[in-house]
Amino acid sequence: MSERLQKILAAQGVASRREAERLITKGCVSVNGVTAQLGQSADISVDEIKVNGVLLGYIPEHYYIMLNKPRGYITTVSDDRGRKTVMELVSELNVRIYPVGRLDMESEGLLLLTNDGHFANLVAHPSREKLKTYEVCVRGNAAHAIPVLKQPMMVDSHLVQSKSIKLIRQTEKSATLEIAIGEGRNRQIRKMCKNVGLEVVSLKRISIGDVKLDSLPIGKWRNLTDSERFSLMRGD
């Protein structure tokens, strides 16, 4: 059956669909010896599809990883500017996996990685809106800002709203908030806080759906349990 190349690459565990599109655009993918074009379709049962010269067609062993991402690492497979990537933290696996979703360079906490394209698409699809919870340390008048943060607001021309906000700790100059969101747009929480006059000092993702970071040390990873994986794949 003929399918879009990015869908085939995701199903084979090569990359997420978005990353697969980048591979195709860079000329890393060929079909029957000819460099593939974005939007092209193929049939893996008939066509010879190669990524960086490696023939597809086998079913890889799937990996499902939870990483406690430190600050200073970017959430990408590679970086042409030489910055540290999260892949350096899981290099001992010696398998090709990729991040599901993103955390910006200055953020830390729970990040999922896999080589199962179906799993990645289910978890990341906007229609599922898995609740993502963050621990956010801020400077500013948190007591004044929280009621405003609970209301819908515009961020990058999109109307967004937190699912819940809790005040965890309060000092004279700073506060720690627990903020849960569904959408997860680029730097959404940082921009929401800026809109209400709060400066984000640190931001850590502590859970995605029912999967919690808990006591996993910074910079370390572990395999997801079957129950964690199944909970992430559910549509609720």
139-155: per-residue pLDDT in tens? Answer: 998 988 999 999 999 99
Return the domain boundaries, the chain: 3-55, 64-127+215-233, 132-208
Please report where in the chains the tokens 């996996």 appear, as a residue: 97
19-64: per-residue pLDDT in tens? Answer: 889 999 999 999 999 999 999 999 887 788 988 887 886 556 889 9
Look at 48 and 127; give whichever has higher pLDDT. 48
Lowest mean pLDDT among 1-5, 89-93, 134-138: 1-5
Active-site option among 47, 104, 156, 210? 104
DSSP 216: P
DSSP 74: B
> Which CATH class, in words, describes the domain spanning 132-208?
alpha beta
Among this protein's residues, is 104 annotated catalytic? yes
**What's the CA gap between 57 and 44, in Å, rounded?**
7
Helix (H, G, I), strand (E, B) or coil at 227: helix
Residue 178: its pLDDT value, please?
97
DSSP 107: -
pTM equals 0.75
Fold classified for 3-55: 3.10.290
Residue 209: its pLDDT value, please?
92
**What's the CA gap between 13 and 197, in Å, rounded?**
43
**Could you write out the DSSP letters of every residue in 15-65?**
--HHHHHHHHHTT-EEETTEE--TT-EE-TTTS-EEETTEEP-S-PPP-EE
Residue 167: its pLDDT value, please?
94
Q: Which CATH number fits domain 64-127+215-233: 3.40.50.300, 2.40.10.340, 2.40.37.20, 3.30.70.580?
A: 3.30.70.580
| Distance set, CA 129 to CA 154, 159, 160, 233 (Å) | 18, 15, 13, 11
